[in-house]
Structure formats: structure tokens, C-alpha cells
Structure 1
């Protein structure tokens, strides 16, 4: 990891906010070709970005508005302490995880009709293959312009689950769950918040239905804006400024059976107009 001091400032055009990198990034990070993706901190605030070449071994990093706001940049040149590491994104893309093709005997309409929120779990572990099947279902959800702005953070660590459970009474079931999936939206990929929330909500519902279809139980925990729990999620998971935690799914083997409920309401259906 490289550590250096630099100025956050506007470029010559006044349109971009940049940091000039004080070394030859290609040489230092051993990346003779291709885009250099980096991550680290700016004055202790996490970021992920990529470097732009200016020729002659010179590079700059452009800071988006979210990062600028997080570090307190107001348009005037600002001193910053920066840490930076190279992320080998090409290697990640070239080695996709092999998935086991897990099937469900439950048809989709039955899953929709019978799914219930489960808040009590047994101690029986859930296999990674089943978790992968759930995540795959989330990635199959529709998104605006196919931007796919979601990231899924899987929590299995009992200590972390306990911390998150004990700081939100509405998420207390996480204490006994087999794990949790935090659905985050990438504001850099989808800048329209209504679309970002809708995309992540669609992925969340897909995963909830797949959890039920696999014979497991799950529950959707909401993340309220400006809540202390949201701040805890950001801190505990070390989320960069571009990622917003939108929903949390606790999952595991159900400790009981909940009867399905028919929610059909004719009064909520309208044709052509109100």
C-alpha cells in the first residue's frame, strides 16, 4: 500500500476534481498495460476508483461528488493524506466462481403465495452452495437499463451478526440466523436514487423467494436513512462512500412453520383510472 500527501483540487478545465499521483503508477503497481483500479482512504474516508493517464508516467485520480462530499471538499484546494492499493479487477473477472446448479421443487406462484417473514431460526448451518444459489437469484432481478448497481455483502461471522442484531431491535433475529446478506446500491453506477432503491428491492425480493423455495426462512430488515443502524452498517462493513446499504436479509433454517396468508384485496385493484 502506498501512502502520500497530495492536494485535492480542480483540474485546468475546472470541471473535474482530481488528485495528482506523485509516482509512476504503472511501475509502482506493476501494471504495464490496462486500467489501474485503486482503493484506499482519503483523510481516513474509504474510496474505490481508477487512475487516468496523463502521459509520461503521470496519473490522476478523479473524485466523484460523493467522495468530495464525504471528505469535505468545497471547491478550494485541500490537503489530503492518501493511502492507495491496486485492485486486480482483471484477475477477479477472469476467475468466476463455479456455481452448483441447485434446484427447487417449488413453483414460483406457490413460493409467492406461501412465503412468510421468518424471525426464528435453528442452529443448523446453511451450505455455501445454497447461499450462492440465493445470491444468483438476486443477480437475476431486473434493473433500470441493466445497470445492475447492487453489491451483496454476506455476513457469516457470529460476532458481527451479534453486533448488528443487538443495535437494532427490529433485527434481533440476526443473532440466531445462519447469516445475513446486506444489499447495497452503488450510487456511482445508478445516480437516480429512485431507480437505485427499486433495483435493490427487486434483488432483495428475488433472494427472499429463493430462500423460501429452498426450504429456508428469511426476513427483510429495512435500513432507514440517517438511522444509527445505517451508520453502524457503514462503519462495521467499511463501506466506501459510493455504496448505500438499502436492505438486510437474515436467513437460516426456520425454527417453526408460519401459515400462509391470502392478501388479496379487491379494493386495491383499479382498471384504467382510480
Structure 2
């Protein structure tokens, strides 16, 4: 799948089949994540891969929009390492770039996923921090549950020329 096709046809997926996601595929997704740009090339991201169903089942207890997570085959928590960021707060766009690469790469491989936010919600970040035993300098940004989708959603053109401003507002 070419890049523009991946961008235009990717949709958030919350319903997954039971088909396993291989370790090789997960590694490829992580390689795609780490190919994303970062501020001053600091690569301030860290990733936690979760396959354990018991761990996945606990996430909805502290995240109100995570009811779909226990049904995924694997999830990747995208985190920022505040000790590595170029400037305070740069872990957020660094991790966001990595997360988008994961979602696009997953789609190109026939997988589906959805960005499920932790940061900046204190209750969510505290919950995942405790569950995964994250050190203080590791900030959880999002979790991306992944699996093979059970349904295919149609493309929707979201381009809105009224949102585009040239030269000045």
C-alpha cells in the first residue's frame, strides 16, 4: 500500500478478530515508530508491548474509553522519556509522530488500531503508570490496541477548504 492510500483509507478500529499478530509484525510496527522524526533527533520515546490478557483487561478500570482494549491481540503503549527530550514537553510531539507511524504501518499490513489517550488525563496516566510499573521519568502518552479488523469502514473525505488559510488568517 502506498503512503497516500494508507493515510486516506486508515480508520480507527475497535473490533478485532482472534487472529494472532506475530512478533515479527510487532517488531516491524516498532521499527516504523522509531523511524518517526523527533525534536533534535533525541528519540525520546519508549514503548511497552502488552499481550497479556489480564493486563489488557485491567485498563478499562481506569480509562473510560478503553472498553475495546481487552479484545485486541496486542497493544503498544507509547511513552515519552522526559530525561531525553530536547526541550520540556517535546516528548509529546515525538511520541505522537511515533504513534501515527504505528497506526499507518499497521493499516498497511492489514491490521487495525486506534489512538487511545492517556496524557494529559491524570487518572489515566496514574492508572497505566501503576499497572505497568513505569518510572517517574516515563510519561504514558497513548495506548494503541491492535488486531485484524472484523469490519471494514468506508473512506470519508475529510478535506475542508474552509480550514485552510494562505499567507495570513
Same fold (TM over 0.5): yes
| Aligned twin of 1:173 | 68
| Aligned twin of 2:160 | 265
Mapped partners of 2:107, 2:24: distance in 1: 15
Q: 1:224 to 1:108 in 2, by over 3 A?
A: same
4+ aligned runs moved over 3 Å, structure 1? none
Say which of 105, 109, 120 aligns to 1:210.
105
Residue by residue, what CA displacement relative to the aligned partner does 1:103-127 show, whole Å, maximum 9, x if unpaired?
Answer: xxx0000000000000101111100
| Aligned twin of 1:111 | 6
More strand by share: 1
- CA shift for structure 1 position 170: 0.8
- Three-state SS of the structure 1 residue aligned to 2:98 is helix
Say which of 90, 98, 106 aligns to 1:195.
90
- CA shift for structure 1 position 171: 1.1
| Aligned twin of 1:233 | 128
- Three-state SS of the structure 1 residue aligned to 2:134 is coil
- Three-state SS of the structure 1 residue aligned to 2:76 is strand
Q: CA RMSD in A?
A: 1.1
1:252 and 2:147 are equivalent in the alignment: yes
- Three-state SS of the structure 1 residue aligned to 2:146 is strand
Say which of 104, 122, 125 aligns to 2:17.
122
Structure 1 residues without counterparts, runs of 5 or longer: 1-105
Bigger radius of gyration: 1
| Aligned twin of 1:37 | none
Mapped partners of 2:121, 2:162: distance in 1: 35
1:185 and 2:85 are equivalent in the alignment: no
- CA shift for structure 1 position 226: 4.5
| Aligned twin of 1:156 | 51
Q: 1:192 to 1:129 in 2, by over 3 A?
A: same
| Greater RCO, 1 or 2 (C-alpha within 8 Å, sep 6+) | 2
Mapped partners of 1:193, 1:159: distance in 2: 34
- CA shift for structure 1 position 267: 0.7
Residue by residue, what CA displacement relative to the aligned partner does 1:113-144 show, whole Å, maximum 9, x if unpaired?
Answer: 00000010111110011111100000000001
What's the TM-score once normalised by structure 2's chain length?
A: 0.96
Mapped partners of 2:79, 2:3: distance in 1: 25
What's the TM-score once normalised by structure 1's chain length?
A: 0.60
More helix by share: 2
